[in-house]
Amino acid sequence: MARKNFRSTAVAAVAATALFALGACSSGSSANTGDGAEGNGDDLITIGFAQVGAESGWRTANTKSIQDTLTTENGFDLKFSDAQQKQENQIQAIRSYIAQNVDVIAFSPVVESGWDAVLQDAKDAGIPVILTDRAVDSEDDSLYVSFIGSDFVEEGHRVGEWVSENLGTESINVVELQGTTGSAPAIDRKEGFEDAIAGNSNVTVIDSQTGNFTRAEGKTVMEGFLQAHDDIDVVFAHNDDMGLGAIEAIEAAGKKPGVDIKIVTIDGVKDGMTALADGKFNYIVECNPLLGPDLAEIAKKVVAGESVEKRIVTHDDAFDQEGAKAALPNRQY
Ligand code: GYE
């Protein structure tokens, strides 16, 4: 698959194409009018950002980072839209940014497939596209100039390794709360986790369903798991919010989260780190949502016609219960 090959090339510096540079300069709100008038709006880079939604604490922190960074003081005129986790809404938002002839389009694709047509339209209009957070599975990687975000396979792998080494010393049953079906983080975190536990026959995934990255759906799916299985040892939730929903379901069933049923998750948002410090979660692999500064830098370079890195992988930490207690006071999100 193109995306996987592309990913294995890690950080490759490539030049932004002349086409994109040209498109940026000829667009409606030109980045540099040369009239020397600072701060009158003409100098601003107009950027359309099509966000996934507001499904999780991670997303809230990500949106805040983008809105706090792409400000007029920092040289941007940000047009922001929330797709409520629907691909058709995101496509509509991107089409409207193309019609407005913005300088740059950025978005976090809710699912991996189905973007080629709208990305081709943006390319034909000479508007560069920057992917943030999630990948697309397009074969043609000239449809976007850069992709900024975490390595989700690696995140799932790190969780699986921790489970295998710390809990898989005896026979354990795992249930999995998957993220949004068809999204890059759900596909990749599942793959990484499965790969990491593959060599340990003590670890068995007995059930796996989507909770769509939300607390409410995580809770509902966990209630179903608890009704269907009386031998669950570990919950692997693809994000903190679904893990937090699982806590509610486990407590309602009269069991102790973190003790009777262990919970491992990905994200590391404040509520997740608090649950970890309180002993209700057992391990979190962080996923850094603060993508605003990298996005601002790449957007400025692209508009200036400079070369940009095709793939920027953000750094993620990992925390056990003691680590969470130490890190919590200084957490930014
Ligand atoms: O882990 C989850 C959010 O795409 C990395 O989306 C993001 C994921 C994040 O809903 O909480």
> Per-residue pLDDT tens for 148-205?
999 999 999 999 999 999 999 999 999 999 999 999 999 999 999 999 999 999 999 9
This prediction's pTM: 0.89
Claim to verify: residue 121 and residue 206 sit in the same structural domain: no
Ligand 1 centroid – CA 185 distance (Å): 7
Tell whether 333 is covered by a domain.
Answer: no
Domain that holds residue 246: 152-287
Nearest to 196 by CA among 167, 154, 233: 154
Claim to verify: residue 181 and residue 297 sit in the same structural domain: no
- The pick from 236, 238, 239, 244 for probing ligand 1's pocket by mutation, whose C-beta has the most ligand atoms within 8 angstroms, reads 239
- Residue 29 pLDDT > 70: no
Distance CA 262, CA 98 (A): 47
- Residue 35 pLDDT > 90: no
- Residue 242 pLDDT > 60: yes
Claim to verify: residue 142 and residue 188 sit in the same structural domain: no
Distance CA 104, CA 130 (A): 8
- Residue 73 pLDDT > 80: yes
Claim to verify: residue 163 and residue 280 sit in the same structural domain: yes
Are the beta carbons of 104 and 79 closer than 8 angstroms?
no
Claim to verify: residue 224 and residue 303 sit in the same structural domain: no
- Residue 19 pLDDT > 70: no
Cα-Cα-Cα-Cα dihedral sign, residues 126, 128, 134, 137: positive
Q: Which amino acid is at 223?
A: E
Domains held by the chain: number? 2
Claim to verify: residue 199 and residue 269 sit in the same structural domain: yes
- The pick from 51, 52, 55, 59 for probing ligand 1's pocket by mutation, whose C-beta has the most ligand atoms within 8 angstroms, reads 59
Ligand 1 pocket at CB < 6 A: 55-56, 58-59, 133-134, 185, 213, 239, 241, 266-267, 287
Q: Regarding predicted confidence, which is higher, 26 or 162?
A: 162
Claim to verify: residue 186 and residue 107 sit in the same structural domain: no
Are the beta carbons of 70 and 303 closer than 8 angstroms?
no
DSSP state of 330: G
- Residue 132 pLDDT > 60: yes
CATH number at residue 220: 3.40.50.2300
Ligand 1 centroid – CA 127 distance (Å): 26
Distance CA 73, CA 70 (A): 8
Tell whether 266 is covered by a domain.
Answer: yes
